[in-house]
């Protein structure tokens, strides 16, 4: 029985490897000529920046989005149609709360 499962596993690994290579070659043939002139210079410029700066920029994007949602976004737009007016039903608060773990994990692993 285990030989059958091992044979099936080898078959699926070969099939998915072949499919992956086909998708990769398709994307390179179709999208690379279009996107390379756009993203090539951006990739080169970002490749010259130190790694710590990328972490700071990533955390900065998260924090700026949290500030925008919490302080700048119109509360009437965000909370349209909410039945209760308590602070715990404010979606801006829950957006900031739900994004905080992402920021902490990103900051920890940068």
- Mean pLDDT over 96-106 rounds to 89
Q: How far is CA 32 from CA 28, 29, 36, 39, 40, in A?
A: 5, 6, 5, 10, 10
The residue ranges of every structural domain in the chain are: 1-48, 50-110
Dump pLDDT digits (tens) for 48-87. Answer: 989 888 888 888 888 999 999 888 988 888 788 878 888 8
- At 37 the pLDDT is 94
- Sequential DSSP letters for 15-40: HHHHHHHHHHHHHHHHTHHHHHHHHH
pTM of this structure = 0.55
Question: Sorting pLDDT into bands at 50, 70 and 90, what band is 110?
Answer: low
In terms of DSSP H, where are the helices of the chain?
Answer: 2-30, 32-47, 51-67, 75-78, 91-108
Q: Looking at residue 109, what DSSP letter applies?
A: T
- At 1 the pLDDT is 64
């Amino acid at each position: 029985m285990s030989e059958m499962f091992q044979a099936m596993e080898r078959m699926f690994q070969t099939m998915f490897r072949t499919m992956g290579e086909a998708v990769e070659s398709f994307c390179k043939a179709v999208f690379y000529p279009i996107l390379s002139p756009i993203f090539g210079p951006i990739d080169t410029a970002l490749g010259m920046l130190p790694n710590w700066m990328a972490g700071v920029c990533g955390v900065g994007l998260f924090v700026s989005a949290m500030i925008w949602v919490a302080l700048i976004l119109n509360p009437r737009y965000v909370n349209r149609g909410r039945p209760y007016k308590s602070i715990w039903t404010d979606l801006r608060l829950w957006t900031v709360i739900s994004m905080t773990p992402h920021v902490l994990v990103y900051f920890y692993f940068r």
